[in-house]
Structure 1
Amino acid sequence: MTITQLYYVLAVAENQNFTKAAEKCFVTQPTLSMQIQKLEDQLDIQIFDRSKKPIELTDVGKKIVTQAKNIVNESNRIQDIVDQQKGFIGGEFKLGIIPTVMPTLLPMFLKAFIKKYPKIKLKIEELTTEEIIKRLSEGHLDAAIAATPLENENIKERVLYFEPFVAYIPESHRLSKKQNIEVSDLEIDDMLLLEDGHCFRDGIINLCKVFKSHTDDSFQLESGSIETLIKLSDEGLGMTLLPYLHTLDLNDKAKKNLHYFTEPSPAREVSIIYNKSELKMQIIEAMQGIISGIIRGAIAFQNVKIISPLPK
């Protein structure tokens, strides 16, 4: 039994197709099939039910895949040990970032990070929290930046910063004359929200639930981007809530529509998250250090109340 054989088994289990798995592993399909067949012969069992389309794992195959993930992860840790012993911080690093954090945080830290750690080859993707959790568990991401806590036993979290919610209220709105607003002032019926799948949307819904009940039928206007929500609000179609960092680049006219909450301000917790296997920790710690140092000068809020991003 070899690590390579287990790696091939995981690829087939994920893609449910030998040809696609071979492409992902950069080998020919006969080579991959032969190695898996060799492993099955050695163990005297069938890992895959090849009569099904797409290919399915057998019952024992499911157990083998679970163990194979652990073994492959642990084998990768050997290179980590060597890198850390040598003080090497480099290599490929796959990072996922949620859509409501990517446009504000990434420009703040990316240049400084690349300059300080030129040997790291960053691969960054914008992904929803659900997709991030899936890819972390499958080993397709090394880490991610997302709103927390996620309460997932397979994922570890390191808090980077707390980001307050800020209300964006047009002049025509009932709350426009209030300098500071209370959570109890919010009405979900006139709130513009991001589309389903965004954890920031779930945070706003959870915030409003503290005081009022609602049904999903009450949502009239939703959008895939915060910029569109601002434009819809400017048209008098309702108010919206923004993450604090999104307010920094607004023009002077738009900033007049910003209203802050009385303290403790509702806020989201933003963390760097990673699999409990803790691979590539030297890079994760390096990234945490860069981001924490930069963000300290941008967010001075201390008295905040963290709102969960988990749908309720």
Structure 2
Amino acid sequence: MHIESFKYFQQIAKLQSISKVANNSHISQPALSQQIQKLEDSLDKKLFIRSNRGVELTESGKIVQKYADNMIRTYNKMLSDLNDQESKEIKIEGEHTIATYCLPCAILNMNFKFPNHKYNLVSASSDKIEQDVLSDICEVGFTTKPSQAENLISEKVINEKVVLISPPAFDLPEKIKLEEVLDHKFVILKEDCIIKDNFKNSIEDLGIDFSEVEVISRLDSTEAIKTLVRKGYGVAFVPYNAVRDEFSANEINVSRITDYDLDYDIYMINKKAKFISDEVKEFIANFKKLGKHICY
């Protein structure tokens, strides 16, 4: 089986069309169908159900799809490592908010202190990060939850400060109790995240159900949340690192909750020492020396 077959398989599964993938890949449709047929023959499983409306995955196809992405990324990582043998590049993954707002600052500090390191930073989901560390697709991961995998080490390395942001017109004080802000309209993230979980747990401790909070919008990104708050639509809880520039420019107000701790820890995950290179060991040791409040 060639890796190209899995790449074509993934594209067809995504677009649900052999003809579209053939056109996009500049390959004839019969040749592409032959590639998929060879893959099905080698696995002794039918992967697609073909019809006039296109193709859809069989149950076997769904299983292959689950592993194909990781196989392709592992293969690409191998090629990257072969090309970067002299560069000693360290691949790092972080949950989206961490990779976007916290790690760039931390890694900049690392560059100042340890200029011999080279980094490749990307964002990913926590589950994917853990799997990628296990599969050697990345050397180090940063998540908001410690890994439960037996072969991985998790360690708290950063404490992320969470603040309430509001439009200046609301004139909220710098320090405020949680119950005093619950009359406001909230903007939150769609997906599950530790900030939303901590918020829910805190108001439940006050005897208030989360459904009683007026949520006017559930958005995909912190950037979108900041936009609505700047425009005066409501308030939101976000990492302080995500709003330092807007706060400095007086575009938003920042408040700290005094009676509940909404801050969270960021964990660095990596394989055990015997499975990682000396460069990664050096990165891990030096990163921990920067302290838990790296960006403040």
Q: Aligning the two structures, in what range does the TM-score lie when normalised by the shorter sequence?
A: 0.5 to 0.7
Kindly indicate whether the alpha-carbon contact (under 8 Å) linking 2:186 and 2:213 is maintained by their aligned counterparts in 1.
no
Distance 1:57 1:196, change over 3 A: closer
8 Å contact 1:193–1:201 — kept in the other structure? no
Is 1:207 the counterpart of 2:205? The answer is no
Match of 1:266 in 2: 262
Rounded Cα–Cα distance in structure 2 between residues aligned with 1:41 and 1:254 = 60
Find the counterpart in structure 1 of residue 145 from structure 2.
149
Q: Deviations over 1:63-117 (max 9, x none)?
A: 4445655655665675588689x565249x6956525762455355359659655
SS at match of 1:189: coil
Partner of 2:11: helix, strand, or coil? helix
Aligned-partner SS, 1:269: strand
Q: Secondary structure at the match of 1:102?
A: helix
Per-residue deviation, 1:14: 3.6
Deviation at 1:207, TM superposition (A): 2.8
Matched, 1:47 2:40: no
Aligned length: 278
1:102 is matched with which residue: 100, 103, 123? 100
CA apart distance, 1:22: 5.0
Q: Is the 8 A contact 1:94 1:124 kept in 2?
A: yes
Match of 1:219 in 2: 214
Contact residue 160 and residue 288 of structure 1 kept, 8 A: no
Q: 1:124 to 1:290 in 2, by over 3 A?
A: farther
Whole-Å separation in 2 of the counterparts to 1:13 and 1:161: 39
Q: Which amino acid aligns with 1:213?
A: I
CA 149–202 in structure 1, closer or farther in 2 if over 3 Å, else same: same
**Quick one: structure 1 residues 89 and 190, their matched pair in 2 at CA, closer, same or farther if it must change by over 3 Å?**
same
Equivalent runs, 1:16-35 vs 2, <5 Å = 16-22=16-22, 26=25, 28-30=27-29, 31-35=31-35
SS at match of 2:51: coil
Question: Residues 221, 20 of structure 1: CA spacing in aligned structure 2 closer, same or farther, 3 A cutoff?
Answer: same
- Alignment pair present for 1:251 and 2:245: no
**In the alignment, residue 109 of structure 1 is paired with which amino acid?**
I
Q: TM-score, normalised by structure 2?
A: 0.60
CA contact (8 A) 1:109 1:294 kept: no
Distance in 2 separating the partners of 1:186 and 1:284 = 46
- Between the aligned partners of 2:238 and 2:14, the Cα distance in structure 1 is 37
Q: Please state whether the residue corresponding to 1:50 is helix, strand or coil.
A: strand
**Gaps spanning 5+ residues in structure 1: where?**
301-312
Shift of the alpha carbon at 1:148?
1.9
Distance in 1, matches of 2:142 and 2:109, equals: 20
Q: Is the 8 Å Cα contact of residues 10 and 65 (structure 1) preserved in structure 2?
A: yes
Check 1:106–1:220 CA distance in 2 against 1; reply closer, same or farther (3 A cut). Answer: same
Letter in 1 for 2:53: K
Q: Kindly report which structure 2 residues correspond to 1:154-233, keeping only aligned pairs within 5 A, or say none.
A: 159-167=156-164, 176=173, 185=179, 188-190=182-184, 192-197=186-191, 199=193, 200-216=195-211, 218-222=213-217, 224-226=224-226, 228-229=228-229, 232=232
Q: Is the 8 A contact 2:187 2:235 kept in 1?
A: no
> Judging changes above 3 Å, is the alpha-carbon distance between structure 1 residues 231 and 75 closer, same or farther for their aligned structure 2 residues?
closer
User: Is contact 1:12-1:21 (8 Å) kept?
Assistant: yes
The letter of the residue matching 1:261 is T
Aligned to 2:199, the other structure's residue is in SS state: helix
User: Relative to 1, partners in 2 of residues 1:206 and 1:297: Cα closer, same or farther, differing over 3 Å?
Assistant: closer
Amino acid at match of 1:270: I
**What corresponds to 1:305 in structure 2?**
none
2:9 is aligned to 9
Whether the aligned pair in 1 keeps the contact of 2:47 and 2:61 (CA below 8 Å) is yes
Task: Summarize the Cα distance change of 1:47–1:227 in structure 2 as closer, same or farther, 3 Å threshold.
Answer: closer
Paired residues of 1:173 and 1:238 also in contact (CA < 8 A):
no
SS of equivalent to 1:161? strand
TM-score under structure 1 length normalisation: 0.58
One-letter amino acid of the counterpart of residue 37, structure 2: Q
Distance in 2, matches of 1:231 and 1:201, equals 22
